Structure 1
Amino acid sequence: MTSSPVMSYSLSQRLIHWIMAALILFNLLFTEGMEEFTEAAEEGQAVTPDMIASANIHAYVGIAVLCLAVMRLILRFIQGAPAAPADEPPLAQMASKVTHATFYLLFFALPIAGIAAYYFNIEAAGSLHAGPLKLLTWVLIVLHVGAILVHQFYWKTPVAQRMIRG
């Protein structure tokens, strides 16, 4: 029995993708609450309820990303993912695989490092979370969006449609 190739992402895969994208961007853009809380705690200053609330929001969003990443990975194993367009250059296919694998690693590493820093006071995890992991996430987002634009406007492939319309 042969199964037909996956042509598009399922509705659940698309929803999780876009929810995760929104949550990740939220946490990347709105870090002030966590930074203010961390700085006050490190300097022995009074931590206000507003600081705690802001830090908790950042933490809860990160935990939500981690939970969604687990769901996303399970769905990917169960439902699969569309293959690269046949005419996509081999180097671009390899770059896509490496980028997606790194995204998946970050979906786990970033929240776990944040949890280790916030809940268990592991300073090295906080430095990793707020430094190289955050920077790598931004770099991959730029590469990801750039690749979508190349597919859409240069190669004229419907790659973006697989995550938008299915």
Structure 2
Amino acid sequence: MTKFKSNDRSKAQSRVKGFTLIELLIVIALLGALAVGLLAALDPFEQLKKGTDTGIRNTLSEFHGATIRFFALKNHMPWCDFSASPVTCNDPTAVTLETLNSATYENALDQIITAGELKADFETLAANQLDKIYVSGTDDPPLVKICYQPTSKSFKN
């Protein structure tokens, strides 16, 4: 039988118990490199811009659909002069590009909301987006064009 000295046994057990400091530092460095690579790939500011662009695009789409439904219901576009009888509209050749919060289109928004094609709080909910949406339109022919300038790279391409 062989006898083990107590010092030999304690040295063997101490080696088995855990990782060395060097091994831990290498693992932490690798995880850090992976985290930096992942962060660079996801680009959090680009994600925020994409979220903003998606919100503006949804607002734009909602206004466009409401304008088309308004025309189907009233047989004229919402930016026409409702005080005149019969209702008069702008010159078909005078297509202007204005933001959705301009006086012309604020009146149009009010008409669409009154007709029930947009929710009553549409202007409140979309207040910070209305100046980023550009609209032009005529009544004869019935035409509405809506656009916006995207801020994210993926929406620009």
Higher relative contact order (CA 8 A, sep 6+): 1
Q: Which has the higher strand share?
A: 2
The two structures have a TM-score, normalised by structure 1, of 0.29
Provide TM-score, normalisation by structure 2. 0.30
Structure with higher Rg: it is: 2
Q: Larger helix proportion, structure 1 or 2?
A: 1
